Amino acid sequence: MGIATLGLGAFAGLAFLTQWGIRFRLVGITGFCAVLTVGLFGLSFEPFVSTTVAGSVPYTTVFDSGASQLVIAVPADISDSALEATLQQAAINSFNPSQLGGGAQSPRIRARTIVHREPSISDLLYLGQVQPDATSESGYRVTLDSSQLAKARAATQNS
C-alpha cells in the first residue's frame, strides 16, 4: 500500500508538471491512499497473538457486549484451579484499556456451563467471574461460585 501511495504521489507530481486536467483528482486520490497507508501501518502494531495461562482449558466466547460484559463457556467438569486460570486467560486476552477507563459498570467476564439434569431440561450455571482490580497482584479479581461448581460436578457425575 505504501508503494502504491508513493507511485500515485509521483504520478500526481507528474500531472502538476505537465498541467493535466485531472491533477487535482490525483492529489485527492493520493491523499486518501496516504490515510489508508497510515491507518494500516498503525494497525500493524497491535499484537494478534493470544496469551495462554498454564492450567487453563479451551473456552468459547458466547456473548460480548463490546463494553462491560463478556460470557465464556467452559466444560461442566472443570476444576477450581482450571477455572481460575481460564478466567485469567480470558481477562488477559479480552480486556482492553478502553474498557478499564471507568464508566457506570466495571467490565467483567463470566464463565458459564450448561448441565442437563433431565433429557429435556437444561440448567445454565455461572461458575465464576473476573473483574479488573488495581489492588491485586495480577490486576484481576477472580471470584468462583462454589455452590454452582458443586452443582456442575454433581450433574456430570450423574450423567
Provide the edge-to-edge strand list for the sheet that holds 108-118.
Answer: 60-64, 69-73, 108-118, 121-132, 140-144
What does the pLDDT read at residue 114? Answer: 92
- Grid coordinates standing for 149? 461448581
The shares of helix, strand and coil residues in the chain, as percent rounded to the nearest 5, are 40, 25, 35
* pTM of the predicted structure, to 2 decimals: 0.66
SS3 state of residue 109:
strand
Distance CA 21, CA 127 (A): 68
In 79-94, which positions are buried (b, 16+ CB within 10 angstroms) versus exposed (e)? eeebbbbbbbbbbbbb
Query: In this structure, what C-alpha cell is assigned to residue 34?
Result: 496516504
For residues 122 and 27, what is the distance between their CA atoms, to the nearest angstrom? 62
Which SS3 state, helix, strand or coil, does residue 118 take? strand
pLDDT, averaged per 10 consecutive residues of the chain (159 residues), comes to 92 92 92 93 74 90 83 92 92 70 72 88 92 82 91 82
